[in-house]
Amino acid sequence: MSRTLTIRLTDDIFEWLKKTSRRSGIPAGRIIREKLEQAKTDDQAKADDRDKPWMKLVGSVRGMSRDLSTRKGFSRK
């Protein structure tokens, strides 16, 4: 199902949209829909990152062996 939305654009954005549409041959409405879909996808990715706050720490520990199993003296035989 599709919906119609009316928005007001600044002159700069309107000129960019008109030039981009003319240059690419893609209708202005399609350009706007694609940009909104991209923003939605980016927002969902950021939401996923917010759900995993520990991910910002990945790779931040330095000075340890990359593979702890290679350290001598710690294996149980």
Single-letter amino acid code for the residue at 11:
D
Single-letter amino acid code for the residue at 47:
A
Tell me, what's the pLDDT at 53?
A: 73
For the full predicted model, state whether its pTM sits above 0.85: no
Tell me, what's the pLDDT at 46?
A: 77
Compute CA distances 15 → 11, 24, 36, 53, 68, whole Å.
6, 14, 18, 40, 58
Along the 77 residues of the chain, how does pLDDT read in single tens digits?
A: 788 999 999 999 999 999 999 999 999 999 999 999 999 988 887 776 667 777 777 777 666 666 656 656 665 65
What span, in angstroms and rounded, lies between the C-alpha atoms of 47 and 49?
A: 5
